A and B are shown apart, each in its own frame.
Chain A
Amino acid sequence: MDLGEINPVLLVASLMVAATPLLLAAIGELVVEKAGVLNLGVEGMMIVGAISGFAISVETGSPWLGFIASAIGGAVLSLLFVLLTQVALANQVASGLALTLFGLGFSALLGQSYVGIKPPSMGDIHIPVIGDIPVIGPILFQHDPILYVGIALTAAVWATLKYTRVGLILRAVGENHDAAHALGYKVIKIRIMAILFGGACAGLGGAYISLIRVPQWTEGMTAGVGWIALALVVFASWKPWRALLGAYLFGGITVLQLNLQAAGVAIPVEYLAMSPYIITILVLVILSADKSSAPAALGRTFHASH
């Protein structure tokens, strides 16, 4: 065992990278669920985002355009969910599952000619002065821009939900859609916006995997991150900062356990491999002892009959 071989600076830096796709998807889903909609299609929207972002950035040579395309791709796929659940009033669980299956297959189709191609690199932002501070610089100030977008998004979602009128309306719709409707708010319209936002975030998360974390396109490459994001939203009690904490914990321990393995730490590998799940669940369950509960209208279909 040689813990000295683990470079803590690189470790923290790479745990942030590992956590970002999860964070982006979870924040998007959090907003969707706050609006009272349960979209189980996160995995599908992520993978479609991954391939649309990848394809566009390869074709245009610009990772920025790729990320924009990935957000659009994810949102377009979520439009299908909108049609099914908000217009046709179909069951949300079934529609979400269908969205995931469809997304996985559709992305494989789209991606056929993109296997084995290297995407253009986004490059890290190197902020002068503060980026040069030893230890803190490389950890905090030398990442790709999308990583900061993820954190900024968390802050924005938190502030919007907590302090703004828009956030209040969104929460009202998620808690009691009949009451919100009676007050004159357009429940369906608000939910559609939330679903599209969730789709765009999931798409960004997917593209983060295909453009930065791996970077390549492979069929099915999200490999279950979407499902973890869904679970994370619940364990984070629908609170943005807890989702961030959970994502960083999960991503962090995933990377940490690989590091420990490589350094030959004498903890049985099985425990290391399960540690990200267990520790994340434990921490978030303890945090949610304040009994914050799910949005009351979560998963319920709204139909304005009067």
Chain B
Amino acid sequence: MKFTTLLTSAAVALGLATGAMAEDKTKVGFVYVGPVGDGGWTYEHDKGRQAVEKHFGDKVETVFVESVPEGPDAERVMTQMALEGADLIFTTSFGYMDPTINVAKKFPNVKFEHATGYKTAPNVSAYSARFYEGRAVQGHIAGKMTKSNIIGYIGSYPIPEVIRGINSAYIHAKKVNPDVEFKIVWAYTWFDPAKEADAATVLIEQGADVILQHTDSTAPQAAAQEAGNVVTFGQASDMSEYAPFPRVSSIIDNWAPYYIARTQAVMDGSWETVSTWDGIKEGMVEIGEISDAVPADVKEEALALKAAMAAGEYHPFTGPLKKQDGSDWLADGETADDGTLAGMNFYVEGLDGEIPQ
């Protein structure tokens, strides 16, 4: 017992010491769902964290915990961060939504920011990017590039963010190629390279020659490269190591400006609960370089589509659109409202299969 007492008091003393040292520093915590070296989703969040450190220098201290499972374990990690004196905590995966809200209740003075969810509280903001704008560009290129007219899509979990991406990609692929068919596989993981590669291989074996992924690692890129003639897109990060082929373009999440602005707000005491949902226009979603493997005219169209969205002239969900069951959703020229998009739980007309509920 004596030894444990000793350990505890040492830990407390250490905690007090660091607490005293870090008094005038703003401490920012990050909770990641995958490893920082996944080359995709978490990698970009960590780039945002590094940007915060670079921007504020000595005035800020950042901490992060990687590969945190979504669920009770996430609550433990967040609680630990809050106890260690974090002023602001970014929780960067959809499945952290309820844990974030729960932990935030216990620490009213700590600010929380949850990525890709929809719940907020007096000290919890929600932020996300309009990835579906990037998916529109991908869908366009995919529809033009496919020869087999089968596009494989690796989904992670059937949540609104992923479903929006599938719908957006499908609408724009269909627009340029009426014969296109989507094959969707749910991996039920954000990060499992072996499984992601298996999923890509299965889709390729079943005839897909374009693979879109909504999982975090570069494994599907490797599987496509192995197959030889399959087109892919970087997801969440540029994944340029697989350019110019199979990766012909990408969606890049740029979190740095947001992270810097929110850290600044905490420093200034001006932090308020917000729901941020920025897209190509604000620079939170970027389109990675479209490689030369894409014909010049297709590239031009894709860039024009991107420009139209950046200028706010075009919304990827513009009617006439029907839901999968054939019922009307958007009338001609009508655009989808953010509320519907945020909770999207249906496929648009033409997609096969059911969304797992």
Which residues of chain A have a CB within 8 Å of any CB of chain B?
5-7, 10-11, 14, 18, 21, 108, 111-112, 115-118, 121, 209, 213-216, 218-225, 254-255, 258-259, 261-264, 266, 268-270, 273
Q: Is the CB–CB distance between A5 and B207 below 8 Å?
A: yes
Which residues of chain B have a CB within 8 Å of any CB of chain A?
34-39, 67, 152, 158, 183-189, 191-195, 197-199, 201-203, 205-207, 217-219, 221-223, 225-226, 239, 241-242, 352-354, 356
Chain B: which residue is nearest A21 at the CB level? B194
- Pull 30 A–B residue pairs with CB atoms less than 8 Å apart, ordered by A: A5-B207, A14-B201, A14-B202, A112-B37, A115-B241, A116-B242, A213-B197, A214-B194, A215-B226, A216-B222, A218-B39, A219-B35, A220-B34, A220-B35, A220-B191, A222-B194, A223-B191, A224-B192, A254-B198, A259-B202, A259-B205, A262-B183, A262-B202, A262-B203, A263-B183, A264-B353, A268-B356, A269-B186, A269-B188, A273-B188
Residues of chain A lying within 8 A (CB to CB) of residue B202: 14, 255, 258-259, 262
Cα–Cα, bound, A220→B190 (Å) = 12
- Closest-CB distance, B215 to chain A (whole angstroms): 11
Chain B: which residue is nearest A210 at the CB level? B193
Residues of chain B lying within 8 A (CB to CB) of residue A254: 195, 198
Chain A: which residue is nearest B158 at the CB level? A269
Chain A: which residue is nearest B183 at the CB level? A262
Residues of chain B lying within 8 A (CB to CB) of residue A258: 185, 187, 198-199, 202
Cα–Cα, bound, A286→B253 (Å) = 49
Q: Is the CB–CB distance between B185 and A221 below 8 Å?
A: no
Q: Is the CB–CB distance between B352 and A118 below 8 Å?
A: no
- Closest-CB distance, B118 to chain A (whole angstroms): 22
- The listed residue (B35, B158, B193, B203) touching A209 by CB distance below 8 A is B193
- The listed residue (B34, B193, B356) touching A216 by CB distance below 8 A is B193
Cα–Cα, bound, A14→B197 (Å) = 11
Q: Is the CB–CB distance between A221 and B186 below 8 Å?
A: no
Residues of chain B lying within 8 A (CB to CB) of residue A5: 206-207
Chain B: which residue is nearest A119 at the CB level? B222
- The listed residue (A21, A216, A261) touching B186 by CB distance below 8 A is A261
- Closest-CB distance, B103 to chain A (whole angstroms): 24
Q: Is the CB–CB distance between A215 and B222 below 8 Å?
A: yes
Cα–Cα, bound, A219→B219 (Å) = 11
Q: Is the CB–CB distance between B194 and A209 below 8 Å?
A: yes
Instruction: Output the residue of A117, A262, A269 with the most chain B CB within 10 A.
Output: A262
Residues of chain A lying within 8 A (CB to CB) of residue B195: 223, 254
Cα–Cα, bound, A121→B34 (Å) = 27
Chain A: which residue is nearest B352 at the CB level? A264
Given A209-B193, A214-B219, A115 contacting B37 (CB threshold 8 A): yes
Cα–Cα, bound, A150→B31 (Å) = 38
- Closest-CB distance, B157 to chain A (whole angstroms): 10
